[in-house]
Amino acid sequence: MSTLFAHHQHRSSADPPQLTYLVAGMTCEHCRIAVTEEVAKVAGVAAVEVHLDTKLVHIHGAGVDAAAVVAAIDEAGYDAVAE
């Protein structure tokens, strides 16, 4: 299942994500934590949703740089494809 959290303000699941990525290879809680922690460091990110069942990562925030998010996911050890 998914968990919503970030080091910033928590967003309601009713708020549409600003960015969504397909991140193949995520299979476990360690994967979820690694991706969430790296993406949460990106400027403007307010919340991160990682769904292991669908392999989707939803990013909420204002003015988030898409290239910085892809770099953060890469830093966590995964490849991201924009949805």
Each residue's pLDDT tens digit in the chain (83 positions)? 333 333 333 444 456 778 999 999 999 999 999 999 999 999 999 999 999 999 999 999 999 999 999 999 999 999 999 98
- Position 8 scores a pLDDT of 36
Strand partners, 80: 23
Which of 64, 60, 46 shows the shortest CA–CA distance to 14?
60
Residue 6 DSSP label: -
d(Cα 50, Cα 56) in Å, to the nearest integer? 6
Supply the pTM of this predicted model.
Answer: 0.80
pLDDT at residue 17, as a whole number = 75
